[in-house]
Amino acid sequence: MLRLYYSQDEIHTKRSDDSVEPMAIGCDIVEIARIREAAERHPRFVERVFSTAEIVECRQKTNPWPSFAARFAAKEAVIKAMPGDFVPPLTEMEILKDTTGKPQVHFTGLTAEYAAKSGWKRWAVSLSHERTHAIATVIAWGRPEEGTNECDW
């Protein structure tokens, strides 16, 4: 069992064996209409922001815009949870459902390298939306090696 502990500077999980793991949290909220309007104004917007697999997954919905907006929010939340000043290309972060329908964060390219170097070993994402807004929360945790929490790229 994990318990969440936080101080002014850090958030940690405390395991039942009393070991402590640092963690990072990112959260973002997006207006669904802004994502739809950006795609309508800029025909290549969707391809510049989302991977092919994400586009396929979102377009399976009758109304794909809440799904696109939630994934956009998730990518922004990932950026907030990443250490250092690295801002990954949005297409190198994929938010895809696993076989049970649960969203997962996947990294490719330099972002995968950076995420591995950062020391965060596990990433979790939660997506939600209502009529006008989509929100995502991302948690990164693990046991970074000494000195790996602040990547110097």
Q: Which two tokens stand for residue 83?
A: 């250490």
Q: How many CA atoms lie within 13 A of 11 on its CB side?
A: 12
Q: Does 54 count as an annotated binding residue?
A: no
| Chain center to CA of 79 | 7
Q: How many CB atoms lie within 10 A of CB 97?
A: 12
CB of 29 within 8 A of CB of 128?
Answer: no
Q: Does 21 count as an annotated binding residue?
A: no
Q: What share of the chain is helix, strand, coil (3-state, %, to 5)?
A: 35, 30, 35
What residue numbers does the annotated binding site for Mg(2+) cover?
28, 76
What residue numbers does the annotated binding site cover?
28, 76
